[in-house]
Structure 1
Amino acid sequence: MLCGINPAVAQIPTRDPHTPGYVKATELPDGANPSPDSNGNFIIGPTHHDAPESVVQADIPQGKIYHFTMNSKDSKIYPGIAREPNTFGSPDPANPAKLIVTTSHPAPYNRQVAVYVPEQYVPGTAAPFIIGADGPDNLLFVVLDNLIAKGKVPPMIAISIGNGSGDAQGSQRGLEYDTMSGLYAEFVEKEVLPLVESKYQVKLTKNPDGRATMGGSSGGSCALVMAWYHPELYHRVLTYSGTYINQQWPYNPESPQGAWGFHGHLIPESPLKPLRIWMEVGDQDLFNPNIMRDGMHDWVLANENMAKALSVKGYPYQFVFARNARHVDGNVRKQTLPEALEWLWKDYHLEH
């Protein structure tokens, strides 16, 4: 999703990964991915071919995929909001970083949840798992089938959670994904995971080292928000075109820059957290695509700043700058997701 784009002002330039001020990165041969054994900054493309693990392989064990629906009336945490169609908001004349939205109101929603259980899961054992935003994500399930069969990642359960509808400020999706707090992680912990365990007779690990989050765009920043505010729940984060910009709503003076604050001050000024982070951004990713002019709406710069902040602080991370790639680019995902997941779980040891 394109995070509140106004097409009339969406002029998206192609960025050069060697722009002054960007992180120094290793340029890989066209079509190559960084090694899952390596940390740091890498440049890929311009050609993007599907990794073998992104394609269904009929001769390996296939996990089971289950679906269920959650209704807003059953949620104590997210009863539901929506922004009126074809409306956005206006910047506060006194503060360009604050968007005033007058067309958001209570509204019901349904969300779809898909659960992948690998064939190798042993009933009764506590399984590692990954939470995905904007689900269902069928590519994730295919990749996990292939990686698990090859022993490149542990047998894990994947829980791909649909958003509550809409996009950006004033929407249910925006409220869930762009809010700088632990609330969404708490919603998953209290309202989603118990349903998964009871419906499908699986046991999910309580060990944060065996729990990962992932997503693209605002779902990507949400993945980091979940782990940042609840590191006792999640240690692993994977993001495509993360919305590390100022998109939080309602405005909160405690986090006035929204997710831009991650690289602006939170990561630099906070003690090191036990997080392992994989990130990607495209050379044609989003650039100031709405009516706010606060200097905090460049997705490429935001992700470059993230890589810089993570490096300085000493986090284990891998950052991929993709040439010839747009926002949450599907071809890039099919090229890189297997390597990204292998990198993300590289240091994990199965529980016994």
Structure 2
Amino acid sequence: MPAYVPFVPLPLDQEDVRYDYGPDSSRSPGVPRGFTVELRWDSTAYPGTSRKVWIHVPAAYNPAEPAGLALFQDGWWYLDPDGEVRGGIVLDNLVHHGDVPVTIGVFVDPGVFEGVEDPVRRKNRNAEYDAFDDRYGAFLLGEIVPEVRRRFAVSDDPERWGIVGGSSGGSCAFTVAWHHPDRFRRVAGFLSSFSQLPGGNNYPALIHTTLRKPLRVFLQAGHRDLRWNEPDHNWLAENLRVAAALAEAGYDFRLVLGDGGHSPNHAGVLLPDALRWLFRQPPGN
């Protein structure tokens, strides 16, 4: 059966575009709310930093049946029920309707140096998210995930583990899965900052020369993302290069290209469908 997409006229102005949210991004009558646990975390992987972590547990969670896991970077931006992405609301709706298996959302803020007054030096976000190594993934697996598993039953199946992020958090999510495909096999990157990786974006070459990893990848790019018409450090171009490499290498991959600039609005609108697609089951399962 073909999938029919409703007609929507293309906007003439590609700069100032906002997408309307679907029903899964708002509280729905009859959908029970999950609960959220808030933690403060002082990291050993990033000495001197502290951060907040929110663990969102859908109402259908049963300790006798281990849940899947979805880790979101820029924690509160992605969890805030009044924000652009509304990750907890989305999980509640999708789990309740059976669109994804029961999945616990873990929303991790980037670290800050509490004693530093300078607002730039205080933030450790770029040091954590823009790095091209396994340090941040090791932090999640060595510190955050064990704390989640201490409190809740989590499946060992890596096909049920996802990682999500936007901007630098998007390229970070891809880097974590690239280094740890034994744990994270579902990746969503929105307007990912591949252009900010130290030494440049090596992923297109690596994807072509590395044995294909067992990843399923959802990417979103924007026609008017940062430096979209510049010859270097071009967010749009680098996302397209990664997407093309994934397609040519035969990955289970999807790209959504939209209008607008470097805004989380489109990511929030897409999140329900992205999670459905990432965690979909083969026919008959």
What is the TM-score normalised by the length of structure 2?
A: 0.84
Determine if the alignment matches structure 1 residue 301 to structure 2 residue 237. Answer: yes
- Structure 1: 5+ residue stretches without partners: 1-26, 33-44, 80-107, 249-255
Distance 1:179 1:348, change over 3 A: farther
Determine if the alignment matches structure 1 residue 67 to structure 2 residue 38. Answer: yes
Deviation at 1:29, TM superposition (A): 3.6
Distance 1:218 1:334 in 2: 16
Deviation at 1:58, TM superposition (A): 3.3
Larger radius of gyration: 1
- What are the superposed Cα offsets for residues 317-344 of structure 1, whole Å, 9 maximum, x if unpaired? 1101112x221332x1332111111011
Structure 1 match to 2:82:
none
Superposition map of 1:271-310 within 5 A: 271-287=211-227, 295-310=231-246
Identity over aligned pairs, percent: 29
Q: Of the candidates 180, 186, 190, which is equivalent to residue 236 of structure 1?
A: 186
Superposition map of 1:122-271 within 5 A: 122-136=62-76, 137-138=78-79, 139-165=86-112, 172-198=124-150, 201-248=151-198, 256-257=199-200, 260-263=201-204, 265-271=205-211
CA RMSD of aligned residues (A): 2.8
Structure 1 match to 2:254:
318
Contact preservation (8 Å) 1:141, 1:158: yes
Distance 1:31 1:229 in 2: 41
Q: What is the letter of the counterpart of residue 207 of structure 2?
A: I
- What are the superposed Cα offsets for residues 158-186 of structure 1, whole Å, 9 maximum, x if unpaired? 00000014999995211211111111111
- Greater fraction helix: 2
Distance 1:239 1:169, change over 3 A: farther
Distance 1:312 1:165 in 2: 39
Q: Secondary structure at the match of 2:262?
A: coil
Distance 2:148 2:250 in 1: 35
If asked which structure has higher relative contact order (CA below 8 Å, sep 6+), I would say 1
Distance 1:348 1:243 in 2: 31
Determine if the alignment matches structure 1 residue 342 to structure 2 residue 283. Answer: no
Contact preservation (8 Å) 2:19, 2:269: yes
Distance 2:192 2:8 in 1: 23
Contact preservation (8 Å) 1:31, 1:47: no
Distance 1:78 1:140 in 2: 26
Distance 2:153 2:120 in 1: 34
Structure 2 match to 1:50:
21
Superposition map of 1:70-109 within 5 A: 70-71=41-42, 75-79=43-47, 108-109=48-49
Distance 2:120 2:213 in 1: 28
Q: What is the letter of the counterpart of residue 154 of structure 1?
A: P
Q: Secondary structure at the match of 2:277?
A: helix
Distance 1:64 1:348, change over 3 A: farther
Distance 1:63 1:348 in 2: 27
- What are the superposed Cα offsets for residues 208-263 of structure 1, whole Å, 9 maximum, x if unpaired? 11100000001000100011011111100001100111433xxxxxxx32xx1112
Q: Of the candidates 241, 255, 264, which is equivalent to residue 329 of structure 1?
A: 264
Deviation at 1:28, TM superposition (A): 7.8
Contact preservation (8 Å) 2:228, 2:236: no
Distance 1:348 1:212 in 2: 17
- What are the superposed Cα offsets for residues 184-207 of structure 1, whole Å, 9 maximum, x if unpaired? 111111111122233xx3122222
Contact preservation (8 Å) 2:220, 2:267: no
Deviation at 1:67, TM superposition (A): 0.5
Distance 2:72 2:222 in 1: 20
Q: Secondary structure at the match of 2:202?
A: helix
- What are the superposed Cα offsets for residues 143-166 of structure 1, whole Å, 9 maximum, x if unpaired? 111111111111100000000149
Distance 1:28 1:165, change over 3 A: farther
Distance 1:169 1:299, change over 3 A: farther
- Structure 2: 5+ residue stretches without partners: 11-15, 80-85, 114-118
What is the TM-score normalised by the length of structure 1?
A: 0.69
Contact preservation (8 Å) 2:191, 2:220: yes
